[in-house]
C-alpha cells in the first residue's frame, strides 16, 4: 500500500520582528496527496506583550483581540501533535522557525517542559527558497507568486495566517507541478508558442501548465548521460 503524503502549510503572525517579539497567531492547513483537507489548525494567542503599530497594520490583530486568548503554553501540545511527522511548508521558513523555536525555548527557560525545536517534530521545507530556484527573476513574496500563478488573492486585505497558508498551498502546487511533467515518459513536448490546456485543481482553481521545451529536454538527457558514465 502506497504511503500517503501529508503536508502542512504553516504561517505565523507576530507582534513584530526583532529580538523579544512573540507569536500571536498560528495558522496551518493540511494537504494529503496534494489535496487540501478540512483539517486546519488556527489559534490566536495572547503574546503577553504589546504589538508594534507597524505589525498591527499588516495583520490587523489588536490588543483587544488577544487579551483574553490562551497563551502559547496552552496550545503548544496541540500544535506539535498537529505537525508531527508531516512535511511542513513555510514561506520564508527561517523567520517562522525562529519564532516558534524561541517560544519553545522560553517555555523551557521558565521551568516548563523542554520541547526541543520544531524540526524535531517534522520536516521543514522553505517555499521561498524553492520559488527562487524555479523562478530565477522577479519578486518571490507570496503576493507576487499569487499574481504570477494566477492564484486569486482578492480576500487578502490583511495578512492572515490561515488565509496565507491556503494561498501558499496553491502557489506550491503550481511551483511543483512541473516536476511531474519533466520526467513523464512519452510526453509530447510543445514549443513555447503552443498554448497548453489549463489544469484545474479539485477546487476549480486554474493552475499553470509548465511545458518543457525541446532544448531543455535535450539538456536534461545529456546531463543524465553524463551521470551514467561517471
pTM of the model: 0.75
Between CA 206 and CA 195 the distance in angstroms is 14
Q: Could you tell me if 165 and 146 are in contact, meaning their C-beta atoms sit under 8 angstroms apart?
A: no
Residue 21 sits in a domain whose CATH number is 3.30.420.10
Q: Examine residue 122 and state whether it is found in any structural domain, yes or no.
A: yes
Instruction: State residue 215's pLDDT score.
Output: 56
Question: Regarding predicted confidence, which is higher, 25 or 187?
Answer: 25
Q: Examine residue 222 and state whether it is found in any structural domain, yes or no.
A: no
Q: Could you tell me if 209 and 201 are in contact, meaning their C-beta atoms sit under 8 angstroms apart?
A: no
Q: Examine residue 41 and state whether it is found in any structural domain, yes or no.
A: yes
Q: What is the dihedral of CA 100, 102, 108, 110, to 10 degrees?
A: -120
Q: Examine residue 84 and state whether it is found in any structural domain, yes or no.
A: yes
* Domain ranges, residue 27: 6-182
> C-alpha grid cell for residue 91?
514561506
Q: Could you tell me if 187 and 181 are in contact, meaning their C-beta atoms sit under 8 angstroms apart?
A: yes
Q: Examine residue 212 and state whether it is found in any structural domain, yes or no.
A: no
Q: How many domains does the chain have?
A: 1
Q: Examine residue 23 and state whether it is found in any structural domain, yes or no.
A: yes
Range with the lowest mean pLDDT among 155-169, 182-196, 207-221?
182-196
Catalytic residues: 159
Q: Could you tell me if 54 and 27 are in contact, meaning their C-beta atoms sit under 8 angstroms apart?
A: no
Q: Examine residue 230 and state whether it is found in any structural domain, yes or no.
A: no
Q: Examine residue 73 and state whether it is found in any structural domain, yes or no.
A: yes
**SS (HEC) of 111-137:** CCCCCCCHHHCCEEEEHHHHHHHHCCC
pLDDT in tens, 105-158: 999 988 888 999 999 999 999 999 999 999 988 999 999 999 999 998 887 766
Tell me whether strands 87-90 and 206-207 are parallel, antiparallel or unpaired: unpaired
Amino acid at each position: 500500500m502506497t504511503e500517503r503524503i501529508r503536508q502542512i502549510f504553516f504561517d505565523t503572525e507576530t507582534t513584530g520582528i526583532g529580538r523579544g517579539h512573540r507569536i500571536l497567531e498560528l495558522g496551518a492547513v493540511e494537504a494529503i496527496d496534494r489535496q487540501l483537507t478540512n483539517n486546519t489548525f488556527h489559534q490566536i494567542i495572547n503574546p503577553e506583550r504589546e504589538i508594534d503599530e507597524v505589525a498591527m497594520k499588516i495583520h490587523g490583530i489588536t490588543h483587544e483581540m488577544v487579551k483574553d486568548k490562551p497563551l502559547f503554553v496552552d496550545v503548544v501540545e496541540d500544535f506539535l501533535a498537529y505537525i508531527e511527522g508531516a512535511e511542513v511548508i513555510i514561506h520564508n521558513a527561517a523567520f517562522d522557525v525562529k519564532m516558534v523555536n524561541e517560544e519553545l525555548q522560553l517555555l523551557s527557560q521558565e521551568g516548563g517542559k523542554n520541547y526541543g525545536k520544531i524540526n524535531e517534530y517534522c520536516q521543514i521545507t522553505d517555499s521561498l527558497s524553492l520559488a527562487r530556484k524555479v523562478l530565477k527573476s522577479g519578486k518571490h513574496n507570496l503576493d507576487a507568486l499569487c499574481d504570477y500563478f494566477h492564484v486569486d488573492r482578492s480576500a487578502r486585505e490583511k495578512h492572515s495566517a490561515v488565509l496565507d497558508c491556503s494561498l501558499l498551498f496553491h502557489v506550491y502546487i503550481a511551483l511543483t507541478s512541473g516536476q511531474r511533467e519533466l520526467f513523464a515518459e512519452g510526453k509530447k513536448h510543445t514549443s513555447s508558442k503552443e498554448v497548453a490546456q489549463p489544469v484545474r485543481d479539485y477546487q476549480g482553481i486554474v493552475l499553470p501548465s509548465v511545458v518543457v521545451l525541446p532544448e531543455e529536454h535535450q539538456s536534461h538527457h545529456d546531463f543524465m548521460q553524463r551521470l551514467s558514465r561517471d
